[in-house]
Amino acid sequence: MNKKVLSAILCGTMIVGAACPVFAGTADGKKIALVGKSAGNAFFEIAAASFKEAAEAEGATVDVVYPETATADAQIKVLDNLISQQPDAICIAANDVNALQAKLEEAMAEGIKVSSFDSAPNKDSRQVFVNQAGTVAVGQALMDAVLDIAGGEGQWAILSATSQAANQNAWIDAMKTIMEGDEKYSGLELVEVAYGDDEPQKSTDQTAALLEKYPDLKVICAPTTVGIAAAAKYLQDNGSACKLTGLGLPSEMIEYTGADDEHSCPYFYLWDMQGLGKLSAYATIALVNDEITGALDETFTASDLGEYTITEADDGGTEIVLGLPLQFNSDNIEEMAKLY
């Protein structure tokens, strides 16, 4: 229960004249802006709902803002507007690694705390990044899924989101490094990285184009919730022999997940979505309260999630890793689809 609601109930049941316990939230009166990569993507709506709930229970107000398009330019416009409103913090999922630097530095210079979640702007553009699962851990899970589903060899392709997306490119680089670094992947041939821009229709069209160009394609790996759902439908509706894996929302993948011929996706991954929203909120509040600065080895208590330590990110900046990637398959998809 929201602590403020609890406080009000307790207050209402107390004898008249006795003092009411007023809950002092750790973020009372603080203003936080949460900026997603694009509107209309269930991924951000789910993360934002958890973020908002967690931060508002601590007394903060949260403004969830989406750019007009999934581009850095559109996010710069959003940031310009936010900086003029002087929130206490901005937490952003970046559409580009480097292009937001000047704006985010301007925000920090004005005393606005800058955290990021899902997709990290470069190390100079943020104080800390809340990483849903380690970048290498995600790359490893996906590479092993591709190897397994392809049966050890054959052509595979990546269906990504936008070509500049910081998180997508970090996972793709991790996959390539893992594939090139171990003999066991030598039978796999990555034929193309296609971009569906996190738009359902474009992702569907890109899937169709991949199948046409590479008739022997064995596996598509789509590390985007929008891309994987579009590709899953296209492959399944067309009875394609090409199989799918990647990162998806169980609620959007339930019809397509199964290890038999009827389903296009044997299994895929994501992480604890509610945890991502909550941890991002608590980390941002810890910055606002000067409990952390985002420096390596600092620790803080993320409310009921427990204690977290700030670690070094692959880009030389710092991050807080939520946990491990989670696998969704025919055994757990129904249960998980109820959650996100």
Among 118, 252, 272, 319, binds ligand RAM (CB under 6 A): 118
If the CB atoms of residues 46 and 82 are measured against ligand RAM, the closer one turns out to be: 46
Contacts 24+ apart (CB under 8 A), 299-302: 302/278
| Binders in 231-270 for ligand RAM, by CB under 6 A | 247
Number of residues in contact with ligand RAM under rule CB under 6 A: 14
- Interface with ligand RAM includes 119 (CB under 6 A)? yes
- Interface with ligand RAM includes 170 (CB under 6 A)? no
The CB-of-143 to ligand RAM minimum distance in angstroms stands at 16
> What are the E-state strand segments in 178-254?
188-195, 219-222, 243-246
Q: Work out the burial of residue 212: count CB atoms within 10 Å of its CB; fewer than 13 is exposed, 13-18 middle, 19 or more buried.
A: exposed
Among 167, 207, 245, 257, binds ligand RAM (CB under 6 A): 167
The CB-of-97 to ligand RAM minimum distance in angstroms stands at 13
If the CB atoms of residues 141 and 288 are measured against ligand RAM, the closer one turns out to be: 141
- Interface with ligand RAM includes 135 (CB under 6 A)? no
Angstrom CA distances, 285 to 18, 211, 308, 322, stand at 32, 46, 14, 16
- Interface with ligand RAM includes 155 (CB under 6 A)? no
- Interface with ligand RAM includes 319 (CB under 6 A)? no
Among 50, 95, 155, 225, binds ligand RAM (CB under 6 A): 225
Q: Which residues contact 93 (CB under 8 A, 6 or more apart)?
A: 35, 36, 37, 44, 116, 117, 118, 119, 167
Smallest CA-to-CA distance from 322 within 288, 289, 290, 283 is with 283
If the CB atoms of residues 130 and 288 are measured against ligand RAM, the closer one turns out to be: 130
Tally helices (H) and strands (E) across the chain: 11, 15
- Interface with ligand RAM includes 224 (CB under 6 A)? yes
- Measured distance CA(71)–CA(75) in Å, rounded: 6
- Give yes or no for a contact between 226 and 191, defined as CB atoms under 8 angstroms apart: no
The span of 6-14, 208-216, 221-229, 331-339 binding ligand RAM (CB under 6 A) equals 221-229
- Interface with ligand RAM includes 300 (CB under 6 A)? no
- Give yes or no for a contact between 315 and 101, defined as CB atoms under 8 angstroms apart: no
- Interface with ligand RAM includes 116 (CB under 6 A)? no
- Interface with ligand RAM includes 48 (CB under 6 A)? no
Rg (CA), the chain: 21
Bridge partners (DSSP) of residue 89 are 32, 113
The span of 8-16, 36-44, 81-89, 144-152 binding ligand RAM (CB under 6 A) equals 36-44
Distance between terminal CA atoms of the chain? 20
**Residues at the contact surface with ligand RAM, assessed by CB under 6 A:** 37, 41, 43, 93, 118-119, 161, 165, 167, 198, 224-226, 247
